[in-house]
Amino acid sequence: MSRPIRDVVLVDAVRTPFGKAGATGLYAQTRADDLVVAAFRELLRRNPTLSPDRIDDVAVAATTQIGDQGLTLGRTAGILAGFPRSVPGQSVDRMCAGAMTAVTNLAGGIAFGAYDVVVASGVEHMGRHPMGEGIDPNPRFVAEHLVDTEALVMGKTAENLHDRLPHLSRVRADEFALSSQEKTAKAYADGVIPADLAPVAIRDAQQGWGVATVDEPPRPGTSLAALAALKTPFRAHGRVTAGNSAGLNDGATAAVLASADTARELELSIKARLVSFAYAGVEPEVMGLGPVPSTQKALAKAGLTIEDIGLFEINEAFAVQVLAFLDHFGLSDDDPRVNPFGGAIAVGHPLASSGIRLMAYLAKSFERRPEVQYGLTTMCIGLGMGGTVIWENPHFDGRTS
C-alpha cells in the first residue's frame, strides 16, 4: 500500500528565559521538568484552537537523563502540564541536538501519516545536572585509542578547531562574540525575543517566589577590551574563553508541529515548512565542524545550494565553530543573514533545548523577511556530529532577496 508524504509545518515555538547554571542562578531551586511544563502551558495558551487531546505524541530531549530530567520526560511532563492521559510521550538524546532531533523524529511521523499534531521539546538544567554527570564511558575509548580524551571536553575540541584552522583567530572569535551580544541587546529592545518567552514561577528559599521573564546570561555592556582580558580555561595561552563561548545554562524549549492540512483544519499558524534535514558525523576531536557536512547533506536532499539560503540560525556553542562554518561556505563574519537576533554566546545554550530556540528565531526572521524563501537551523553536536534542518518561509512573496 502506497501512502503520500505529507508536508510538515512548524506551528509555534516558545522557550523559558534561559538562566545561568549554578547555586545563584535563576533556576537554582526550580526543577527541570517544571521548566518543560511552563513551556508546554505557554504553547497551549498561545494556540487556543489546539485541543490537547489532538496531540498525538510528545518528545522531550535532555542530554543528562537523570533526576528531574529522567523518567521519560515526554510522558511525565505532559501529565504535569495537564495533557490528557491518552497523550503518550518519550525521551530523546542527541546531546546538544536533542530538541532538534525531537522535532525531526516527530516530523517523520507526521510525514508518514502516523501523527497529525505533536509537541517537541528540550530541556537542560546544567546547574542540577552538569554535562557528563553519572556517565561511565567504556574504557575501550581510551584503551583502543578510538577517541582522544580531549573529545570528551567540548572546550578542548574548540581549541583543536582553532589549531586546525589558525586563521580563525581569537580576535575574530571575540569580534563575533561581541556582535552576538549587540544583536541580542537590539532584539530585546525591539521586543523580538521577549515575545516568545514563557514566564516561569521560580522559588528562592530566602526571597520567596518570583517570576522569570528575561534571560539571565546576556552581557549587553561587553567590549572587545573586556573580551580580550578573559582567561583561556581549556588551555594556557589558548583562544577559547567564557566570552566567545556559550555558557553553562538552564532552560527549556517547546514547539508544536503538524501536518499542513491539520494546521489549516485547526486554524493554527504556520511559521515554517520543513524541507529537509540531515545529521552527519565528524572527528570527535573537532566536533565544531559537524554543521558543515550535515548542511551539505541537507542541501543535497532538498535539491538546493547554499546560495538558495537567505537566513541562517547557527548555534553559537563556540565562536570558532560558527566561523568555521562561515568560512567553508564563503560567508562573511558579519553577514546580516546569519543570526540576526544574536545567538547562544549571548543568550545561552542549555544543551538539548537549543535546537528549538534556533527554530523560533528563524520563524521570527521569516515573518520580517518575506523576500527570503529558505532558511536553515544548524548546530554542532558533542562527540563529533552536526545537525541541519532546512525550512521554507510561508510568508515568501516571490521577490528576489
List domains and CATH numbers for the chain: 8-127+247-392 (3.40.47.10)
Counting residues of the chain whose pLDDT is more than 70, the rounded percentage is 100
Dig out the grid coordinates for 176 from the structure: 563575533
Lowest mean pLDDT among 8-17, 69-78, 136-145, 270-279: 136-145
Q: Amino acid identity of 363? A: A
Q: How far apart are CA 126 and CA 21, in angstroms?
A: 6
Q: Residue 231 class from Cβ within 10 Å (0-12 exposed, 13-18 middle, 19+ buried)?
A: exposed
pLDDT at 301 over 60: yes
Helix (H), strand (E) at residue 302: helix 291-302
d(CA 207, CA 281): 46
Angstrom distance (rounded) from CA 50 to CA 55: 8
Grade residue 132 by pLDDT with cuts at 50, 70 and 90: confident
Average pLDDT, the chain: 96
Least confident of 136-150, 156-170, 309-323: 136-150
Percent of the chain with pLDDT over 90: 91
Q: Is residue 399 pLDDT above 80, yes or no?
A: no
- Residues 294-313 have a mean pLDDT of 98
Segment 347-380, tens digit of pLDDT: 999 999 999 999 999 999 999 999 999 999 999 9
Sheet strands (E) in 240-381? 249-259, 272-281, 309-314, 374-381
Q: Label residue 25 by pLDDT band (50, 70, 90).
A: very high
Query: Which of the four pLDDT bands, split at 50, 70 and 90, describes residue 224?
Result: very high
- Those residues with Cβ within 8 angstroms of residue 356's Cβ, 6 or more apart along the chain or in another chain: 13, 15, 99, 100, 102, 103, 120, 121, 122, 253, 254, 255
206 pLDDT above the threshold of 90: no
pTM value? 0.97
pLDDT at 152 over 90: no
Give residue 199's pLDDT.
97
39: pLDDT strictly greater than 70: yes
Q: Is the pLDDT of residue 400 over 90?
A: no
Q: What is the pLDDT of residue 150?
A: 81
Please give the average per-residue pLDDT across 78-91, as a whole number: 98
Residue 6: predicted pLDDT:
96
Q: Given a cut of 80, is residue 211 above it in pLDDT? A: yes
Query: If residue 8 lies in a helix (H) or strand (E), which one and from where to where?
Result: strand 8-15
DSSP lists the bridge partners of residue 189 as none
**Sign of the four-CA dihedral 92, 96, 99, 101:** negative
By annotation, the residues acting in catalysis are: 96, 349, 380
3-class secondary-structure state, position 225:
helix
Q: What is the pLDDT of residues 244-267, one digit of tens each?
A: 999 999 999 999 999 999 999 999
